[in-house]
Amino acid sequence: MLTIYGVYRSRASRNYWMAGELGIPFKSVPVKQSYRLADPLADDAPINTKSASFLAVNPMGLIPAIEDDGLVLTESLANNLYLARKYGGPLAPADIREEGLVGNWTMWAATEVEPHAVRIILTHDAGTENNDEGRAKIATAVAALVRAFAFLESHLEGRDHIVGDRFTVADLNVAEVFRYAMSQADLFDRHPKVTAWLARCQSRPAFKAMMEVRSTEAA
């Protein structure tokens, strides 16, 4: 059985969503980020990214990780590419061309979008979005995202999905990266096709089910 290590309030959300889309059984091990705990090494601390039991899974001490039939993978987006390849179905690439496109879009999201989008969400998580320093960080991140938003906006001209004519792992991976920038309404307003595409992705039952569980976790 697939095991997913990580709380839903983390990048593990991507893997939980993917497992839901595939309809596969999985075990959830709710590893918390150590920075969320006063003393992550205390005897009574919940399992977290500094726990010896988790470091035995991923010595880098980062979530998520997955274990499937003895195979351990530790990169959230790559985890989803593996799951799509293993379980197939409409979320998986239909041929080598689509496989190349899915990988390309996933790497694009990870390198060109996520570093900037993460700065936005971390600023909000720190509660500093309304002070001068926080506003400056967000403005810098938004400026860096404009080109990527415009690129995806152009790509979505005349199509509803990123690869092929259906929802695939490319949509899921890219949507989970773009979700980090959702607080920036003006950025989305300037890119209506991106906005509509993200809404389609997030209207899927598996996404809603993942977010429902996520909402029950402590912030």
CATH code, 201: 1.20.1050.10
Question: In which domain, by residue range, is 48 found?
Answer: 2-88
Say if residue 219's pLDDT is above 80: no
Same domain, 135 and 53: no
Report the C-alpha gap between 58 and 41 in whole angstroms.
17
Of 88, 114, 143, at which residue does a domain stop? 88
In a domain, 107, yes or no: yes
Report the C-alpha gap between 167 and 56 in whole angstroms.
35
Mean pLDDT of 51-76: 98
Same domain, 111 and 194: yes
DSSP string, 79-91: HHHHHHHHH-STT
Q: Which residue has the tokens 């259906």?
A: 166
Identify the residue with better confidence: 103 or 218.
Answer: 103
Query: pLDDT tens for residues 191-201?
Result: 999 999 999 99
In a domain, 213, yes or no: no
Query: pLDDT tens for residues 162-189?
Result: 999 999 999 999 999 999 999 999 999 9
Predicted confidence at residue 128, as pLDDT, reads: 94
Query: pLDDT tens for residues 202-213?
Result: 999 999 999 999
Alpha-carbon torsion 56, 47, 7, 133, what sign?
negative
Mean pLDDT of 21-38: 97
